[in-house]
Amino acid sequence: MAVSGFEGFEKRLELQFSCDQVSSIGLRELDFKSLEQVLHHVQCTVVSALANQHFDSYVLSESSLFVYPTKIIIKTCGTTQLLKSVQPFIRLAQTLHLHIVSLRYTRGSFIFPESQPHPHTSFNDEVVFLNNNIPQTLCYRKASVIPSKLSSHSWHVFSAGAGAGVEYSDDVTYTVEVCMTDLDKTLSRKFFRHPNDGKNGDSAGKQMTEVTGIGCINPNAKICDFAFDPCGYSMNGIDGDRYSTIHVTPEDGFSYASFECVGSIYDDDVPEMVKKAVKVFGPGTVSVATTGAGDDVCMRIFKGMEKIGMKGRSWSIDEFLAAGTVVFQTFTSRRNRIQ
């Protein structure tokens, strides 16, 4: 951990691959040892895993990894070097005759930016690194920092694709990334372990899932959870072909929690899930970045947040040829106002 405190804000990478003849399991064919070697470059490890017929999910020492037949999603926090996984993942996929067709990198604003190692020393450094480490075939590129009215919350996006709209052309799903800071202190305490409780990371995590209400956010999801010692919590939820994930840094002074899930334009349970997830933490500030959803989904998220006492502070939109529309909303709790 950095001397200042633990950096909760995750870096997130989504890599989409394609192949002339994709086997039914595609990237899921990669052996665990190869994945561990990539994670070694990033500087994190697997602490727990869960899979179904659609994808594999891993809880990491710093956040999560999801492996689908043609897609990898990895988010890591702390001082991990996430972008060092780009080339190794592309090379591993090539061994299965899969080639990369799009990449999306997103993150919020670090609480402790000065503690980040290269290439995460600044967004500019990250963009230079990405431009130098992805193939020329990903020629539709754009980097943007989406601002908000809260100086502590901006949304950093880099997207690259082999064709305009290649990633989302026939995709009916969208992604919601929620970042929460200044968590309610009483609720945060639930993410601290009890000394000598005789539990391990898995059983303590299971108990946290139950007592905090996280298990009720999507009652259909199977959950893989882990409690860190002395505090901290991570979970992956799997529901058919959709994942959800929560990570919690409960320490006072730099408390942070994130919720991420996938929605479909054909159903409308995501705004309700976002509302339930935010209620678990009672945060002072919340940002919600929605990628590839329509206005009505964003409006329902906005209204849901206002219903639970959050005041909408900003709503910004940016367009990415390779990723679609990104809507970035911020909120503050009516219990306090943080600039």
Ligand X SMILES: C[S@+](CC[C@H](N)C(=O)[O-])C[C@H]1O[C@@H](n2cnc3c(N)ncnc32)[C@H](O)[C@@H]1O
Name the residues annotated as catalytic. 63, 77, 234, 247
Run of H or E including 296: helix 295-307
Closest CB to ligand X among residues 86, 178? 178
Closest CB to ligand X among residues 160, 224? 224
Closest CB to ligand X among residues 98, 204? 204
- Output the smallest distance, CB 258 to ligand X, in A: 5
Binding site members for substrate: 6, 62, 228, 251
**Strand arrangement, sheet containing 99-107:** 46-51, 56-60, 63-67, 71-76, 11-18, 99-107, 155-161, 140-146
Closest CB to ligand X among residues 47, 265? 47
Q: Which residues bind ligand X (CB under 6 A)?
A: 6, 8, 10, 61-63, 77-78, 228, 231-232, 234, 247-251, 256-258
Residues making up the chain, counted from first to last: 339
What single-letter amino acid sits at 177?
E
**Alpha carbons 324 and 292: distance in angstroms, whole number:** 5
Strands 71-76 and 11-18: what pairing? antiparallel
- Output the smallest distance, CB 249 to ligand X, in A: 3
Burial (0-12, 13-18, 19+ Cβ within 10 Å), 142? middle
The residue with tokens 């529901």 is 239
Burial letters 147-185, b for 16+ CB under 10 A, else e: ebebebbbbbbbbbbbeebbbbeeeeebbbbbbbbbbbe
Binding site members: 6, 62, 228, 251
- Output the smallest distance, CB 290 to ligand X, in A: 19
What single-letter amino acid sits at 217?
I
Residues facing residue 190 across a β-bridge: none
DSSP string computed for 196-216: T----HHHHHHHHHHHHSGGG
- Output the smallest distance, CB 273 to ligand X, in A: 17
- Output the smallest distance, CB 208 to ligand X, in A: 12
**Alpha carbons 100 and 134: distance in angstroms, whole number:** 9
Closest CB to ligand X among residues 22, 46? 46
